[in-house]
Structures are given as structure tokens and as C-alpha cells.
Structure 1
């Protein structure tokens, strides 16, 4: 049934991916030059001290992966009749989320290395939403396994 606990966690995964798409992922301020670098799901932008965009690079693949993860979570909600398939979709989803975190981390570290920044910048709400989605996905899989164990134990009694 759709109103199971794991469905709520999977819905939270989809909401978190929506936050990732809509919110910033990372920001780096360079106090000496007044420049600011920002990363969201679709662009890496460099601003000068007055707020004008100096450069903008497309990172469409981050947004595409985040949208795909959200879509997989919604698809997984409606796979409640086949728990094995639902767990498999969630495990694939976990791999994509780990890849998404790795891509964001490598992108921000590459920029920091290029601009020789002193600190690593600040990760924003969009980045932390990915980590929340990973935890919710893990909890959804845990409850799916509990349901599967319950069904098997009931079948044993018959």
C-alpha cells in the first residue's frame, strides 16, 4: 500500500532532490578580490564585488542526476507490490546519490584548487539535502526489508 512508512521516506527523497534543484549547493567568497563563486544544480557562476557575473559554466549533469534521483524515488513509491524491485530501485538510487555527492565535491575542490582559495567554501542547503535524501533512502530500504521479513514469517506460519 502507498501509505507505508517507506513511502513517506521516498517522498522525502523526492522533496530533497527538489531542494537540490532549486537551492544553491556551494558558495566561495574571496575576500581579497571581492569575488564570489557559486554552484547550483545547473551553473557554476563567478561574480565580481559589485554582483555582476564574470563567468558562468554549465553543470547541467548535476541537475540531470538530481532530477533522475527524484524521479526514481517517485517510481519506487509505486512499486509497493514488488518489494524486491522497490529495493533494487532504491539501491540504484543510492548509487546515483553517492555519485552526485562525489561530483559536487570534486567540482568544488577543483574550483578551490584553480583559484587557490584559503578555505573550502560553504556548502549550502542543496548539498545537505542530498545527504538527507541518502539517509531517507536508507531508512526506506530498511522498512521495505522489514515488510519483506514480515511477509515471509506470515507465509511460514501458514
Structure 2
């Protein structure tokens, strides 16, 4: 059923992934000429293609998983793939940020919390899907 709690969690994960398109991870008070990340004062997912692809994949996987409510196994697999994509994107974003020598006075922005929110919402959605699957299997045993 589409009106289950996992739909809300997966929709929130999709919205958080979409919100990353407009929110920066970090910013500096002024542009850094020597830095590839902070040449425009902000570091966001548009600065690197791998970040853009991984977080968009996480959002697309969670959006598709919403409408696969009749196939819970595929829904759980898509949720796991979205979790993996989010972890890869988060790790790669941290690697890029910490690898840039010119990030000394950079301050974190709200966009740096979004991958963590995506991860939390997808995990909660996956747990709810698993509970539903367990409930359906227990009802099948009673027949």
C-alpha cells in the first residue's frame, strides 16, 4: 500500500536528495583563487560529477522504491542501493573537502547535513518495509 509509513520516509529522502541541488555543503567568506572547490565561495554537489551522480541516484532509487509497494523485495533492494549511493557520496564529498588545501576558513552549511538526513530516512524506510514483509509472511503462515 502506498499510504504506509515507508512512503513518507522514502519521500523525505527523495526531497532531501533534491534539496542538495540547491544547498551548499560549505562556503568561504571570499573566493579562493587557488582552490578548485571554493573558486565561487561555495562547495556543492555541482562542483564534482561523482557527487552529483551519487546523490541523484540515491534520490531516484528512493523515489522508484515508493511505487514498488507490491514487490517488497525489490523495494528493499532499491533502498539498500540508495543507502550505498548515499554513503559513497558522503565519503567522496568528505574526501574532496578534506583533500583541498585551501579550505582553512570554510564553514559548513545546511547542505552538509542533508546526506545524513537522506541516510536516516532511507534506513527508516527500509526498516518499515522489512516490518511489513515480516507481517505479511506471518499472515501467510496462518492460512
Bin for the TM-score computed over the shorter chain: 0.7 to 0.9
- Aligned length in residues: 135
1:70-115 CA distance string (max 9 Å, x none)? 111111111111111111111111010001111110111011xx23
Greater strand share, structure number: 1
TM-score relative to the length of structure 1: 0.79
Which of 31, 48, 51 pairs up with 1:62?
A: 51
- Counterpart CA distance in 2 for 1:20 and 1:127 is 9
Query: CA offset at residue 123 of structure 1?
Result: 2.3
Superposition CA RMSD, Å: 1.6
Match runs of 1:133-144 below 5 Å: 133-144=118-129
Q: 2:97·2:103 contact (CA, 8 Å) conserved in 1?
A: no
Q: In the TM superposition, what is the alpha-carbon distance from 1:26 to its structure 2 partner?
A: 1.3
Equivalent position to 1:152, from 134, 137, 143: 137
1:1-158 equivalence runs, <5 A: 1-29=1-29, 35=31, 37=38, 38-43=42-47, 59-111=48-100, 114-115=101-102, 117=104, 121-158=106-143
Larger-gyration structure (1/2): 1
Structure 1 residue runs without a partner (length 5+): 44-58
Alpha-carbon distance between aligned partners in 2 of 1:4 and 1:15, rounded to the nearest angstrom: 17
Report the TM-score, using the length of structure 2 for normalisation.
0.87
Q: Alignment partner of 2:45: what SS?
A: coil
SS in 2 for 1:21: coil
Large movers: runs of 4+ above 3 Å: none
Could you say if the C-alpha distance between residues 116 and 63 of structure 1 is closer, same or farther in structure 2, counting changes exceeding 3 Å? Answer: closer
User: Equivalents in 2 of 1:144, 1:88: separation in Å?
Assistant: 10
Structure 2 unpaired stretches of 5+: 33-37
